[in-house]
Amino acid sequence: MADQLVFNGDQAIAYSWKQINPDVVASYPITPQTIIVENFSEFVANGEVDTEYVCAESEHSAMSLCIGASAAGARVATATASAGLAFMWEVLWIASAMRLPIVMSVANRALSGPINIHCDHSDAMGARDTGWVQMFGENVQEAYDDSLMSFRIAEDMKVRLPVMNCIDGFITTHALEKFIPMETADVKKYIGEYKPVRPLLDLIHPTTYGPFTMNDYYFEHKYQIHEAMQAALPVVRSTLNDFGQRTGRHYDVAEGYRTEDADYVIMAMGSTAGTLRYVVDQLRAEGHKVGSVKLRLFRPFPYEDVAKLLQGKKGVAVMDRAISMGSTGPMFPEVRSALYDAKDRPKLVNYVYGLGGRDVRTDELVGVFKQLMDGSAKTMNFMGVRV
């Protein structure tokens, strides 16, 4: 086993890239992702990796560079956050449509305005329809583990889609935690040699990428991406299983915590899922039958897994660290949809919380459980906002 390290989430991701040694990294620094590319540029400067590192002049260019490099046959990684991800939005669709297995770490941060540098999931949620696989990690260990697994998932021949591994800005990106990396030799074995599909630089098999399609073919190609996304779900599941066997760290697309006999359950993504487990333990000690669910995979959405964990409960609160203004949080409709066909549907409510880095206190989460249990929660609620 490799030495334990004290790293923050960004450092852990940079470290995973160092072990993987991607062919190309093109990026533009943005808080709270900056440490990733800062650290990685040091590895490049020190000759610890032989990655072609490109400092782009914007995120739009960074993603465009990644797309070009990936189409040319390179293993590519990048990172961004917030406005940077928003600026990439147009090109994100092209990465997935060209079926390029680019891996991008997203340090989840609120979108302007007002301008804010702190955590919420608005940035990633804004990119949920772009054809990227989206994973959310809870802590530094998961930031690292998800980063490694992202390459395996993206490059799987059944998937060949770009993957976004998201971690909470500052809460995970800038917090030092103990984590256990894989040995570099094991990482190299785990990730393996990159196998490009019809790279542009293969002159024996010339290929055109990114052609124009009209109403006669566009739809078929979009359908292909949807099919690949559907295929990604079992691939993500088997990747997580395999990773658990290798490392002893067992993950799932949706993870229930003390849910088996729970009457009331709260579901969340990212760091909040950890705080929730602590709150569940507290309330269990007081005799309340509560549990929590951590959703790791948001795209493709694991409807069946979620339904299995939540059906038959008395009440479920879905915590969204983003809001679709005029609607609800983005995860809520997914969970509702997952449960529509369930035999025994719980009462389902939505809580929007933590926007712009509003801290997520344990006592507030206790409050959500209390409202869920005493029936005072409305269909849509807010946690932590002064109204």
Q: Point out which residues bind another protein (CB under 8 A).
A: 4-6, 8, 32, 97-100, 117-118, 138-139, 160, 168, 170-172, 174-178, 197-198, 205-211, 213, 216-217, 220-221, 223-224, 227-228, 250-252, 254-260, 271-272, 274-275, 277-278, 281, 284, 357, 359-363
User: Shortest approach of another protein to residue 188 CB, angstroms?
Assistant: 26
Specify the residue, 193 or 363, whose C-beta has the smaller distance to another protein: 363
Q: Scanning the structure block, which residue is given the tokens 């939505």?
A: 350
Neighbours of 290 (CB within 10 A): 26
Q: What three-state secondary structure class fits 188?
A: helix
In terms of CB distance, is 20 or 171 closer to another protein?
Answer: 171
Work out how close the CB of 206 gets to another protein at its nearest, in angstroms, rounded to a whole number. 4
Largest CA distance in the chain: 69
Q: Quick one: 20 or 368, whose CB is closer to another protein?
A: 368
Radius of gyration, alpha carbons of the chain: 21
Q: Report which of 351, 232, 223 is spatially closest to residue 297, judged by C-alpha positions.
A: 232
3-state SS, 70-118, equals HHHCCCEEEEECHHHHHHHHHHHHHHHHCCCCCEEEEEECCCCCCCCCC
d(CA 115, CA 130): 24
For the bound state, the minimum distance from the C-beta of residue 326 to another protein, rounded and expressed in Å, comes to: 29
Toward another protein, which CB reaches closer, 75 or 160? 160
3-class secondary structure, 268: strand
Closer CB to another protein, 20 or 319, in the complex:
319
Distance CA 273, CA 295 (A): 8
SS3 letters across 158-175: CCCCCEEEEEECCCCCCC
Smallest distance, another protein to C-beta of residue 150, A? 19
Residue 354 Cβ vs another protein, minimum distance, rounded to whole Å: 10
Nearer to another protein, 60 or 284 (CB): 284
The alpha carbon of 137 is separated from its chain's Cα centroid by a whole number of angstroms, namely: 6
Of 176 and 201, CB closest to another protein: 176
Q: How far is the CB of 349 from another protein (least distance, A)?
A: 22
CB 358 within 8 A of CB 384: yes
For residue 317, the minimal CB distance to another protein (Å) is 18
Could you identify the residue written with the tokens 């995860």? Answer: 331
